Amino acid sequence: MGLSSSVFSEEELDEYAAVTYFSKGEIIDLYKKFSTLLEEGEDGREVRVDAERVVEMNEIKHNPFAARLCQVFSTSQDGSMSFDDFLDMMNVLSANADFKLKVHFAFQIFDQNDNNYVDADDVASVIKMLCESDEEIEENVITEVIDEILEEADLDGDGKLSLPEFENVLTKSPDFMTAFKIRV
Ligand SMILES: [Ca+2]
Ligand SMILES: [Ca+2]
């Protein structure tokens, strides 16, 4: 008896495969990965795993946005993840995910103060997240980067980026996401 029959019914697997970019086999593999995060005796898709344990996974360990990713995808909004949350996250991170979907989540990851705009404060905290902790970055460098990004992307001149403005700049410069190491 494999995991597929004990954790998922065939219908559930079909459903997961229909709403994600993953095959049924990949979904079972992802559940196996998720289950390695569970404490002894815990089993099932309903268990929520603390963000501290999720960020240790090889898949996101080296992602500078790991903690923020957990926060964005946590349906309980505390960074803890159920299997469904985890699957959602891996789905957006997957190479097959649609560009628009990735942009949508990149926007949320950048919007650290949750005001539905990517503003100067967000960019400053993203830059700080991307720097090694022992590396001091000068305030004027941060200000320069913010000015450059806004000059490039703030089309209506309100000093912050809306989702369409953010999407527009990513469409024009696909390197942007790579430069910011957003592996989504
Ligand atoms: Ca914001
Ligand atoms: Ca704007």
Q: Which of 33, 58, 92 is the last residue of a domain?
A: 92
- CATH number of the domain within which 59 lies: 1.10.238.10
Domain shared by 80 and 7, yes or no: yes
CA atoms of 53 and 97, how far apart (whole Å): 25
Same domain, 115 and 172: yes
- Confidence at 42, pLDDT banded by 50, 70, 90: confident
Instruction: Tell whether 35 is covered by a domain.
Output: yes
Instruction: Check residue 13 and give its pLDDT.
Output: 95
Question: In terms of C-beta density within 10 A (0-12 exposed, 13-18 middle, 19 or more buried), how is residue 76 classed?
Answer: exposed
- What is the distance of C-alpha 182 from the center of its chain? 8
Q: Mark which of 31, 63, 92 sits at the end of a domain.
A: 92
**Domain end position, chosen among 48, 67, 92:** 92
Ligand 1 midpoint to CA 115 (Å)? 5
Q: Where residue 174 falls among pLDDT bands split at 50, 70, 90?
A: low
On whether residue 78 sits in a domain, the answer given is yes
Question: Residue 123 in contact with residue 110, Cβ under 8 Å?
Answer: yes
- From the CA of 166, which ligand is nearest? 2
| Statement to judge: residues 66 and 129 lie in one domain | no
Local confidence band at 64 (pLDDT 50, 70, 90 cut-offs): confident
Centroid of ligand 2 to alpha carbon of 174 (angstroms): 19
Can you spell out the DSSP letters for 30-69? Answer: HHHHHHTTSPTT--SSSPPBPHHHHTTSHHHHT-TTHHHH
Query: Within this chain, do residues 113 and 66 fall inside the same structural domain, yes or no?
Result: no
pLDDT, tens digit (0-9, with 9 covering 90-100), for 71-116: 999 999 999 999 999 999 999 988 888 888 888 999 999 999 999 9
Range of the domain at 141: 99-179
Beta-carbon contacts of 62 under 8 Å, excluding residues fewer than 6 positions away, are none
Give me ligand 1 centre to Cα 108, in Å: 8
Do residues 75 and 116 share a domain?
Answer: no
